[in-house]
Chains A and B, each alone.
Chain A
Amino acid sequence: MSFTSLEFIGFLLAVVVLYYIVPKKYRWIELLVASYTFYLINGIPQIAFIIATTLITYFAAIIMQKRRDRYKAELDAVRDQITKEEKQVMKKTANSYIHTVQVLAVLADLIILAVVKYLGFVLDNVNSVFASFNSDFSLTLPHIIVPLGISFYTFASMGYLIDIGRGKYNAERNVAKLALFVSFFPTIIQGPICRFDEVAPGLFEGHELKYDNLKFGAQLIMWGFFKKMVIADRAALYVTEVFSTGYDKYSGTALFFGMFMYAVQIYGDFSGGIDIARGAAQMMGIELPNNFERPYFSQSVAEYWRRWHITLGAWMREYVFFPIMLSKPVSGLSKKARKVSAYLAKMVPSVITPFIVFILIGIWHGASWKYVAFGLYNAIIVASSVALDPVFDKLNKLLKINTEAFSWRVFRIIRTFLILGVSKILVKAPSLTTAIDILRKIFTEADLNFFKLTQESEIFSIGINPANMLVLAFGVFILFVTSCFQESGIHIRESLAKQNLVFRWVIYIIALILILVFGMYGSAYNAADFIYKAY
Chain B
Amino acid sequence: MDKIIEILQSIRDDVDFDTEDALVDNGIFDSFDIVGLVSELKAEYDIEIPIEDLTPENFNSAETIYNLVERILNED
Q: Real complex partners, A and B?
A: yes
A163 to B36, CA, bound (A): 23
Interface of A is mostly: helix
Of the stretches B1-9, B15-23, B50-58, B64-72, the one at the interface is B50-58
Known: A163-B52, A166-B51. A322 touches B30 (CB 8 A): no
Residues of B within 8 A of A446 (CB): none
B35 within 8 A of A: yes
Cα–Cα distance between A349 and B32 once the two chains are bound (Å)? 9
Q: Across the interface, do B31 and A166 meet the contact criterion of CB distance under 8 Å?
A: no
- The complex places the Cα of A306 from the Cα of B51 at a distance, in Å, of 18
How far is B76's CA from A323's CA once the two chains are assembled, in angstroms? 22
Residues of A251-300 at the interface with B, using a CB-CB cut-off of 8 Å, are none
Which residue of chain A has its CB nearest to the CB of B76? A84
Mask of B37-71 contacts with A, CB within 8 angstroms, 1/0: 01100000000001110100000000000000000
Q: How far is the CB of B13 from chain A (nearest CB, A)?
A: 11
Smallest beta-carbon distance A321→chain B, Å: 6
A325 CA to B34 CA in the complex, in Å?
Answer: 10
CB within 8 Å for A322 and B51 given contacts A346-B36, A386-B32: yes
CB-nearest residue of chain B to A88: B76
Interface string of A85-113 (1 = CB under 8 A from B): 00000000000000000000000000000
Q: Which residues of A contact B50 (CB under 8 A)?
A: 166
Q: Which residues of B contact A84 (CB under 8 A)?
A: 76
Query: Are A317 and B39 neighbours in the complex by a CB distance under 8 Å?
Result: no
Question: What residues of chain B lie closer than 8 Å to A323, measured between beta carbons?
Answer: 51
Q: Is the CB of A326 within 8 A of B35?
A: yes
Pair A331/B52 contact, Cβ less than 8 Å: no
Please indicate the chain B residues that have their CB under 8 angstroms from the CB of A322 in the complex: 31, 34-35, 51, 54
Name the B residues within 8 Å of A326 (CB-CB): 35, 38-39, 51
Indicate which residue in A168, A303, A349, A350 contacts B52 across the interface (CB closer than 8 Å).
A168
Instruction: With both chains docked as a complex, state the minimum distance between the C-beta of B71 and any C-beta of chain A, in angstroms.
Output: 15
Considering the chains assembled together, what is the distance between the CA atoms of A100 and B36 in angstroms? 29
Question: Would you call A302 and B52 a contact (CB within 8 A)?
Answer: no
Q: With a CB–CB cut-off of 8 A, which chain A residues contact B54?
A: 318, 322
Q: Which residue of B lies closest to A323 (CB)?
A: B51
Contacts of B30 in A (CB 8 A): 302
Q: Does chain B have a CB within 8 A of A157?
A: no
Q: How far is the CA of A302 from the CA of B27 in the complex (A)?
A: 10
User: Is there a chain B Cβ closer than 8 Å to A334's Cβ?
Assistant: yes
The CA of A350 and the CA of B35, in the complex, are separated in Å by 9
What is the bound-complex CA distance between A325 and B27, given in angstroms?
19
Q: Flag A508-525 by CB within 8 Å of B: 1 or 0 each.
A: 000000000000000000
Decide if B32 touches A350 in the complex (CB within 8 Å): yes
Once the chains are docked, how many angstroms separate the CA of A303 from the CA of B31? 11
Question: How far, in angstroms, from A317 to B32 measured CA to CA in the complex?
Answer: 10
Docked Cα-Cα span, A321 to B38, in Å, equals 14
State in angstroms the CA–CA spacing of A163 and B52 once bound together.
8
Known: A318-B51, A322-B54. A334 touches B39 (CB 8 A): yes
Contact status A331-B31, CB under 8 Å? no
Beta-carbon contact of A317 and B31 below 8 Å: yes
Q: Which residues of B contact A331 (CB under 8 A)?
A: 39
Which of A163, A168, A325 interacts with B35 by CB under 8 Å? Answer: A325
| Residues 337 to 380 of chain A near chain B (Cβ within 8 Å) | 346, 349-350
CA distance A303 to B29 in the complex (A): 11
Minimum C-beta distance from B64 to chain A (A): 18
Q: How far is the CB of A417 from chain B (nearest CB, A)?
A: 18
A349 near B35 (CB under 8 angstroms)? yes
Q: How far is the CA of A323 from the CA of B31 in the complex (A)?
A: 12
CA distance A203 to B51 in the complex (A): 25
Return A393 CB to nearest CB of chain B, in Å. 10
CB distance from A352 to the nearest CB of B (A): 12
Q: Which residue of B lies closest to A319 (CB)?
A: B51
Within residues 156 to 213 of chain A, which ones have a CB less than 8 A from any CB in chain B?
A: 163, 166, 168
Bound Cα distance A350, B33 (Å): 10
B17 → A minimal CB distance (Å): 19
- Complex: A326 Cα to B35 Cα, angstroms: 7
Q: Do B39 and A166 touch (CB < 8 A)?
A: no
Q: Which residue of chain A lies nearest to B35 when distances are taken between CB atoms in the complex?
A: A325
Taking CB atoms, residues of chain A closer than 8 Å to B31 are 317, 321-322, 325
Q: Of all chain A residues, which has the CB nearest B36?
A: A346
Interface centre among A168, A322, A323 (most CB of B within 10 A): A322
Give the Cβ gap from A161 to chain B, nearest Cβ, in Å.
13
B residues apposed to A, CB below 8 Å: 27, 30-32, 34-36, 38-39, 50-52, 54, 76
22 contacts between A and B (CB under 8 A): A84-B76, A163-B52, A166-B50, A166-B51, A166-B52, A168-B52, A303-B27, A317-B31, A318-B52, A321-B31, A322-B34, A322-B35, A322-B54, A323-B51, A325-B31, A325-B35, A326-B38, A326-B39, A326-B51, A331-B39, A350-B35, A386-B32
A→B interface (CB under 8 Å): 84, 163, 166, 168, 302-303, 306, 317-318, 321-323, 325-326, 331, 334, 346, 349-350, 386
Q: Name 6 extra pairs, CB < 8 A, besides A166-B51, A322-B31, A322-B54.
A: A302-B30, A321-B31, A322-B35, A322-B51, A326-B39, A346-B32
- What 6 pairs across the A-B complex have the smallest Cβ distances? A325-B35, A168-B52, A322-B51, A350-B32, A166-B52, A317-B31
